[in-house]
C-alpha cells in the first residue's frame, strides 16, 4: 500500500486506485494522519536531496541510518497512540519497518536503480501477467531477467509463464530496456509482426497493421514469417501490412514518444554512451578526465530529475569524483589528485 500512496501523491494512479485511496482516507482519521506523515517523509527526502553537495551524494549507510531514525520516530508515535487508547496502526501500515522507510527515502531521492516498480517479478518466478494502461497513464514493468519496460498510454503488455521468460506480447507502445543474453534473444510479438532483440534500448509502437521502432542503443530485427529488417542505434523503421519499409535516421526519442519526457534509463550502457545521452537531453557538457571510467557501465533509471541529481547518482555508482556547475560536469576517479 505504501507504493500506492506514493503514486497517489504524485498523481500517477488510475481512477480506480484514486477511488480506493480516497475511500480509505475517508474511513479513518488515523489513515489521513498517516497519509500526512508519508507526505512529510517524501518532502523531507526531497529537501535532503537538495542539500547534498553534488560531489558527495549520500551513502547507502546514511540512507539506512536516516530510515532507521524515521522508523524509531514512527514507533514512538505508535506508542503514543496506544497510550491514548488509539489503534497502533491503521489499515495502511505505512511504517512496517526500516526497509519500508528506506525505500520511501530512496524513492524520494529519485534513485531507481534497485527498487522494484509495479509489475516486478522475482527472478525464476515469472508468472503470467497482463499490464494495461488507460489514456494518459503509463506503467513500469521489470522482468525477472532484469529487463525494464515502460508501458505507454492506452497500451497492453502480456508476459508468459516460465523461468526468466524472454518474450512478451504488446498492443500499443512501450519503451524497452532489455538485459543482454546472446544465448536467448528477447522477442516481442504484436499483431503486425515481431521484434527480436539481443540487448538494447528502443521504443516500439504496435498497431494492428503497423509496427514501428526507434532504436536508441543496440539492434532490433523487425520481421514476419518471410521478411526481416535490421535496425541499429539511431535508426527507425516500420513494418506495414507485413512488409518492412526503409531504415531512416531516428528522431530524438522524446519526439517519437512524448510521454517519455523526463524519463532516462540505462541498461548495462557504456558510460561514454550514457554521457552523450545526458549531454543531449540537458544541453550539458560532461568531461570524463580519467579514461578508466569509460570502461564502466550503468544500469539505472530516473524520472524527471535535474542534471545535478542525475550526475550525482552516476558519479556515486561508478565511484567517481565529480564537480557540477552551470551545466558543466567534470568527472575524475576518486584516487586522482584534484590538481592533475
Range of the domain at 206: 129-256
Residue 308 neighbours by CB under 8 Å, 6+ apart: 54, 324
pLDDT score recorded for residue 24: 75
Asked whether 237 and 248 are in contact (CB, 8 A), the reply is yes
| Number of compact structural domains in the chain | 3
Q: What mean pLDDT value characterizes the chain?
A: 75
Q: Considering the domain boundaries, does residue 339 fall inside one?
A: no
Q: Which range has highest mean pLDDT (14-28, 92-106, 159-173, 279-293)?
A: 279-293
Looking at the predicted structure, is the pLDDT value of residue 306 above 70?
yes
Q: Considering the domain boundaries, does residue 121 fall inside one?
A: no
One domain for residues 181 and 197: yes
Looking at the predicted structure, is the pLDDT value of residue 275 above 60?
yes
Sign of torsion over alpha carbons 132, 187, 201, 246: negative
Q: Considering the domain boundaries, does residue 123 fall inside one?
A: no
One domain for residues 69 and 137: no
Q: Dihedrals φ, ψ of 127, to 5°?
A: -105, 165
The CATH number of whichever domain residue 178 belongs to comes to: 2.60.120.1440
pLDDT score recorded for residue 250: 94
One domain for residues 98 and 169: no
Where does the pLDDT of residue 153 fall: very low under 50, low under 70, confident under 90, or very high at 90 and above?
Answer: very high
Each residue of 34-62: pLDDT tens digit?
Answer: 666 666 665 555 554 444 444 444 555 55
* CA–CA separation, 284 and 328 (whole Å): 6
Asked whether 57 and 313 are in contact (CB, 8 A), the reply is yes
One domain for residues 104 and 86: yes
pLDDT score recorded for residue 143: 87
For residues 116 and 246, the model is more confident at 246
Express as a percent the part of the chain with pLDDT over 90: 33
Lowest mean pLDDT among 108-122, 161-175, 255-269: 108-122
pLDDT score recorded for residue 159: 85
Q: Considering the domain boundaries, does residue 244 fall inside one?
A: yes
* CA–CA separation, 280 and 108 (whole Å): 25
Looking at the predicted structure, is the pLDDT value of residue 235 above 90?
yes
Is the pTM above the cut of 0.85? no
One domain for residues 206 and 152: yes
- Range 271-290 average pLDDT: 92
> Of 209, 234, 256, which residue sits at a domain end?
256
Q: Which range has highest mean pLDDT (24-33, 69-78, 314-323)?
A: 314-323
Looking at the predicted structure, is the pLDDT value of residue 135 above 60?
yes
Looking at the predicted structure, is the pLDDT value of residue 117 above 70?
no
One domain for residues 237 and 155: yes
> Of 225, 256, 287, which residue sits at a domain end?
256
pLDDT score recorded for residue 234: 94
Looking at the predicted structure, is the pLDDT value of residue 121 above 50?
no
Where does the pLDDT of residue 321 fall: very low under 50, low under 70, confident under 90, or very high at 90 and above?
Answer: confident
Q: Residues 319, 324, 328, CA angle at the centre, nearest 5°?
A: 115
> Of 78, 109, 140, which residue sits at a domain end?
109
Amino acid at each position: 500500500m505504501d507504493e500506492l500512496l506514493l503514486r497517489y501523491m504524485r498523481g500517477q494512479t488510475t481512477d480506480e486506485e484514486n477511488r480506493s485511496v480516497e475511500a480509505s482516507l475517508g474511513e479513518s482519521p488515523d489513515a489521513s494522519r498517516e497519509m500526512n506523515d508519508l507526505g512529510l517523509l517524501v518532502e523531507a527526502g526531497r529537501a535532503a536531496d537538495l542539500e547534498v553537495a553534488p560531489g558527495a551524494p549520500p551513502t547507502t549507510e546514511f540512507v539506512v541510518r536516516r530510515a532507521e531514525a524515521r522508523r524509531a520516530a514512527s514507533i514512538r508515535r505508535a506508542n503514543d497512540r496506544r497510550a491514548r487508547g488509539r489503534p497502533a496502526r491503521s489499515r495502511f501500515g505505512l511504517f512496517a519497518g526500516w526497509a519500508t522507510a528506506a525505500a520511501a527515502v530512496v524513492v524520494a531521492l529519485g534513485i531507481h536503480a534497485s527498487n522494484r516498480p509495479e509489475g516486478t517479478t522475482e527472478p525464476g518466478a515469472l508468472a503470467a501477467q497482463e499490464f494495461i494502461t488507460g489514456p494518459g497513464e503509463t506503467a513500469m514493468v521489470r522482468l525477472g531477467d532484469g529487463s525494464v519496460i515502460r508501458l505507454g498510454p492506452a497500451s497492453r503488455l502480456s508476459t508468459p509463464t516460465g523461468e526468466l521468460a524472454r518474450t512478451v506480447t504488446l498492443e500499443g507502445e512501450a519503451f524497452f530496456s532489455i538485459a543482454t543474453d546472446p544465448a536467448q534473444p528477447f522477442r516481442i510479438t504484436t499483431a503486425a509482426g515481431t521484434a527480436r532483440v539481443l540487448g538494447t534500448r528502443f521504443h516500439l509502437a504496435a498497431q494492428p497493421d503497423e509496427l514501428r521502432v526507434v532504436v536508441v542503443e543496440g539492434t532490433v530485427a523487425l520481421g514476419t514469417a518471410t521478411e526481416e529488417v535490421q535496425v541499429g542505434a539511431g535508426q527507425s523503421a516500420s513494418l506495414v501490412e507485413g512488409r518492412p519499409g526503409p531504415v531512416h535516421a531516428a528522431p530524438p526519442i522524446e519526439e517519437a514518444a512524448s510521454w517519455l519526457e523526463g524519463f532516462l534509463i540505462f541498461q548495462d550502457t557504456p558510460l561514454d554512451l550514457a554521457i552523450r545521452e545526458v549531454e543531449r537531453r540537458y544541453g550539458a557538457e560532461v568531461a570524463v578526465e580519467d579514461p578508466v571510467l569509460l570502461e564502466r557501465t550503468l544500469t539505472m533509471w530516473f524520472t524527471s530529475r535535474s542534471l545535478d541529481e542525475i550526475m550525482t547518482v552516476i558519479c556515486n555508482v561508478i565511484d567517481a569524483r565529480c564537480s557540477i556547475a552551470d551545466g558543466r560536469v567534470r568527472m575524475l576517479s576518486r584516487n586522482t589528485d584534484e590538481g592533475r
